[in-house]
A and B are shown apart, each in its own frame.
Chain A
Amino acid sequence: MSILQSLVHVLLACTMPPLLLGVIGKTKAAFAGRVGAPLLQPYYDIAKLMRKGSVVSRTTTWVFRAGPVVGVATGLLAVALVPLGGEQALFSFPGDLVLFAYLFGLGRFFTVLAALDTGSAFEGMGGAREATFSCFAEPALFLGLLVLVKRSASTSLSTMLGAHWHGEAASLVLVVVSLFIVLLAETCRIPFDDPNTHLELTMIHEVMVLDHSGPALGIIHYSASLKLFVLGALVVRIAAPRTGNVWGDWGVLVGGMLGLALLVGAVESMMARLRLRQVPSLLVAACLLSAFGIVLIAR
């Protein structure tokens, strides 16, 4: 991959994520018949938080402050492993898909620990839910990626996502749907979690970060959008066609990401949240879809 493309990769990965949140917000506003906040509102929010001071609970230790740090660091590392527009990611090696999945695990580990570090019952509840659902989201993510492993006979994300699909439409659809469900779950969108809810008891992700404030909260918002961006890139790379032209592919990716944000916004506007007990069922359904994909493609 050329230096120019690497530069674009880094720039896009660092600057585009909050825009996706803006698009989602605008879409939801459009569905509700409102004007909505400006597209760039997430950037303003993050910038405002970065300038603020913060309040830290007396109960907490360094683990509480490590939560956002690990979250953003693992997100940035993961984005280096996913190919965006170019043929290759910034870094790739055989087996990087396991590292990719486990980097999210590491981020989650410290986010939940930071929540438990405050000693608040609400945050403990959020942490427990996050950890519980990840037990089902993680196999779903793995099984989805395994379809690609089987197709490309490779365990590196760059090769897996670089290969073209020929006449395996059924598996393709299954895998895209399954990974889209995983994306919604991992980024805590409706129907799994409502990022705009106002009652602590019903939250998952937002309640875990109740005690974070100021710059830490800004970083958390940014990492959340980064996670959406990384997983979105995965889905878009599988679903979107390749133009064959280098910069055309980058265009397709950016367009695809915006389209994905529209789709997430549409899902959020049209669906209600699931009851907490039904969440695992949906994730298991995603696992099954991918498992069928594997069966279809294995021959």
Chain B
Amino acid sequence: MGLVLAFQALLGRMFAPWNASWQVPLGALRIAVDPLSAFFLVPVFGVSLLTAIYGYAYLGTDARPTSKRVAAPWCAFNVLVGSMVLVLVARQVLLFLVAWELMSLSAYVLVVFEHEKEEAKRAGWVYLVATHLGTSFLFVMFLLLSKHAGSFDFDAFVTMPRVGAGLSAVVFACALVGFGTKAGVVPFHVWLPEAHAAAPSHVSALMSGVMIKLGIYGILRVVVLLREPAFWWGPLLMVLGLTSSVLGIALALGQRDMKRVLAYSSVENMGLITLGIGLGLWGVTSGRPHIASIGVASSLLHIWNHATMKGLMFLSAGSVLHGTGTKDIEKLGGLMKRMPRTAIPMLLGAVAMSGLPPLNGFASEWLLYMGLMDGATSAGRGTGVALFLTVGVLSFVGAMAMFCFLRLIGVALLGEPRSAEADHAHESPRWMTMVLAVLGLLAMSLAVFPAFAVHLARPALAQVVGASVSSKLSTGGLRELGAWNAAVMAALLLVWALLWFLWRNAPVASDSTWGCGYPSPTARMQYTGRSFSHTLSEGLLPRAILPHRLEARPKGVFPIPSALTTESADPVTRGIYEPLFRRVGRSFARLRWLQQGVTHLYLLYIVIAVVLALAWVSLPSWLRS
């Protein structure tokens, strides 16, 4: 285990230099690191190192009833990390696709780690179907590109003749579906909450912090390869991004499972990243270099920020699960006292996730706001109004994100414990909480030095929007913002210290919480997560996202035991995919007569297929002669 970690750290050091670039031509294996890959490699190495340390403690000390063998998951973990690196450095279609598939499959193995649970099995299945459907679009896309360029090398794509409008539209659409599935952009996000909730927490952190970002990498890579974005790419991405963020956060509000809340919040954040890229592409095509660079820079910054804070959130949620044995927020509570070393970083992470100052989520959201507002002021009437309204929607998303994390923190960590498990919670091992602290510190430093992060991203930015465009980006505002973040932190500490000093001698009595005259309040009287979000998600948001109630009422002379469960299924799954797959399944059922289960018949099929293939190959030449 230690060897693996050291190896990863070593790799991290080796790759860390920016613009390091070398080629290993080995048959079809072409590998290179350019700024865009390097930018994504940093979180891959950083987060996987931290999650590996965390996972060592998480899996190692877990007191499971059946001692589970952890060798296979670790192997899959390493394959996952390795294949993610390979995806980023691959410069050849076949290599890229192999790495992509390897990444998807190793993640599947990790998702079904707890395969004795129904939830994990279903999650793995949904994930497997979704990722393969996505990959099939990638196959089509790369085949089209290779045919056009006459080669499977990415280098050849760069030098290939200009891609026609029709072909580039098809390629971009395929990339959007294929990579969008991995990135979890609505409506291709359905696998994400299932898989993230079922996987072990350090794997969820890795998947949410890094793996889904590779979908964004893919989209950016295709934009770089196609060179000239069409005018509709930007607006389309913006619409998709905005839809993802609104739907993602609205669905996150109603979830009981901590990790599902976080997963849906990932959908929201991927939406914000997509929105930034869309804004950037719109800036490129409409000749606004300033907006173009701000838009893409906000996305790149948010990619790093989200990797840090979502990693932190998933790992602390895992720590809570480790300490209490449940991830249902309605059964938690009172953990700030019982697990302070988990709860404090988690609170920090929640502030960051809500996009509030003084943490890093605010920095990238601020940049996105700036890009949108600058774009709106400079654009014409119609576009300007649309962009201003986008800012309004963005602030709505921000407020809902705050609501969502208030509920998560307030119900899961604060108050009185709501169950015996939470009451007897124990703090997680040092190794785990240390990783949380490191991530918290990272989030703080990214908040204070966002300008530095954007400075590091500049070469990658130049690759996406062009060098002349990216040079227009001034990081002055960001530097000021970083200073303000530091100032807010300082002001909070200062006010606290001042007040503490002033009232250090004031008498403080300790008593039970005021129950409005009721003398003996119990933990069950507390506000629950469901009631917290009741007004918002059940009174004000559309009914489609409501949880379903499954009721078994007692009836008859000898009543059966009654039951009431609620499940919050994804409206996109319920409304679009399930009917679609049912219909597809029905139409395939009509082909069932082909499958007789008789070996002879299958042999016949093979013979026919071979004959047809031979005919296909030889007929043209025979006809010519």
Seen from chain A, the residues whose Cβ lies within 8 Å of a Cβ on chain B are 52-63, 66, 69-70, 72-74, 76-77, 93-95, 98-99, 101-103, 105-106, 108-109, 112-113, 115-125, 127-129, 131-132, 134-139, 141-143, 146, 149-150, 153, 155, 200, 210-211, 214-215, 219, 276-277, 280, 287, 291, 294-295, 298-299
Q: Identify 9 residue pairs between A and B in the complex whose beta-carbon atoms are under 8 Å apart, listed by A's number.
A: A54-B507, A119-B521, A120-B526, A127-B527, A143-B392, A287-B392, A294-B385, A294-B388, A298-B381
CA distance A70 to B351 in the complex (A): 13
Choose among A119, A125, A139 the residue that contacts B513 (Cβ–Cβ < 8 A).
A119
Name A279's closest neighbour in chain B (CB-CB): B535
Contact A58 B531 (CB under 8 A): no
Least Cβ distance of B404 to chain A in Å? Answer: 9
Do the beta carbons of B492 and A215 come within 8 Å of each other? no
> Which A residue sits closest to B492, measured CB to CB?
A73
A106-B357, A142-B395 are known; give 9 further A-B pairs, CB within 8 A.
A63-B347, A101-B395, A103-B357, A106-B351, A121-B521, A122-B516, A132-B403, A135-B400, A298-B385
Chain B: CB-nearest residue to A96? B484
Decide yes or no: A113 and B373 within 8 Å by CB, A106-B351, A139-B393, A299-B381 being known contacts. no
Instruction: Name A99's contact: one of B381, B484, B526 (CB within 8 Å).
Output: B484
**Out of A57, A146, A295, which one reaches B373, CB within 8 Å?**
A146
**Assembly CA distance A131 to B402 (angstroms):** 8
Which residue of B399, B407, B494, B527 contacts A105 across the interface (Cβ within 8 Å)?
Answer: B399
Q: Which of B471-497 contact A (CB under 8 A)?
A: 477, 480-481, 484, 487-488, 491-492, 494-496
The residue of chain A having its C-beta at the shortest distance from the C-beta of B367 within the complex is A95
Total A-B pairs, Cβ < 8 A: 245
* A residues less than 8 Å from B396 (CB atoms): 135-136, 138-139
Q: CB-defined interface of B94-136 with A at 8 Å, one 1/0 digit per residue?
A: 0000000000000000000000000000000000000000000
- Segment with Cβ contacts to A, from B179-187, B314-322, B411-419, B434-442: B411-419
Q: Is B366 an interface residue (CB 8 A)?
A: yes
Among residues of B, the one whose C-beta sits closest to the C-beta of A201 is B516
> What chain A residues lie within 8 Å of B392 (beta carbons)?
139, 142-143, 146, 287, 291
In Å, the complex CA distance between A69 and B377 comes to 37
Cβ of B366 and Cβ of A61 under 8 Å apart? no
Known: A73-B492, A124-B527. A119 touches B366 (CB 8 A): no
Interface of chain B residues 528 through 548 with chain A (CB within 8 A): 531-536, 539-540
Residue B178 at the chain A interface, CB threshold 8 Å: no
Inter-chain contacts of B398 with A (CB < 8 A): 102, 105, 138
Given contacts A73-B492, A95-B366, A113-B409, contact A58 B512 (CB under 8 A): yes
Q: How far is the CB of B377 from chain A (nearest CB, A)?
A: 5
A280 to B532, CA, bound (A): 16
* Cβ of B308 under 8 Å from chain A: no
In the complex, chain B residues whose CB is within 8 Å of the CB of A298 = 381, 384-385, 388
| Residue in B closest to A117 when the chains form the complex, CB atoms | B414
Asked whether any CB of chain A lies closer than 8 Å to the CB of B525, the reply is yes
- In angstroms, Cα B428 to Cα A213, docked, is 35
Chain A residue with the shortest CB-CB distance to B389: A291
Chain A residues whose C-beta falls within 8 Å of the C-beta of B389 in the assembled complex: 291, 294
Known: A120-B521, A121-B525, A146-B391. A76 touches B403 (CB 8 A): no
Q: Is the CB of B393 within 8 A of A99?
A: no
